Amino acid sequence: MYSYHNTIKKRIKNGELIGFDYVEDYKDIGHCLLLHFSTPPFERPIRPHKYYMYQDILGNWSKNK
């Protein structure tokens, strides 16, 4: 079974994340947190109701960057 968020977290842990930003109008999603990676798929959107899953991860990533 494919787990979207677990795969993204693994990619962050593996050092593939190169940046992130908040986007107001992303394709068919609308407002989202957009994660940018160095390997395909290069962009992964996170919907607002899942932001809490990434607060600590992205905070630590920003400190270590």
- Given a cut of 70, whether residue 56 has pLDDT beyond it is yes
pLDDT digits (tens, 9 = 90+) for 16-47: 999 999 999 999 999 999 999 999 999 999 99
- Given a cut of 80, whether residue 2 has pLDDT beyond it is no
43, 34 contact by CB (below 8 A): yes
What global pTM score does this model have? 0.92
Tell me, what's the pLDDT at 65?
78
The pLDDT of 4-10, averaged and rounded, is: 96
Q: How many CB atoms lie within 10 A of CB 46?
A: 21
Q: Domain spans of the chain?
A: 4-64
Residue with tokens 């109008």: 25
The pLDDT of 45-59, averaged and rounded, is: 96
- Among the listed residues 33, 65, 28, 27, the one whose alpha carbon sits nearest the alpha carbon of residue 49: 33
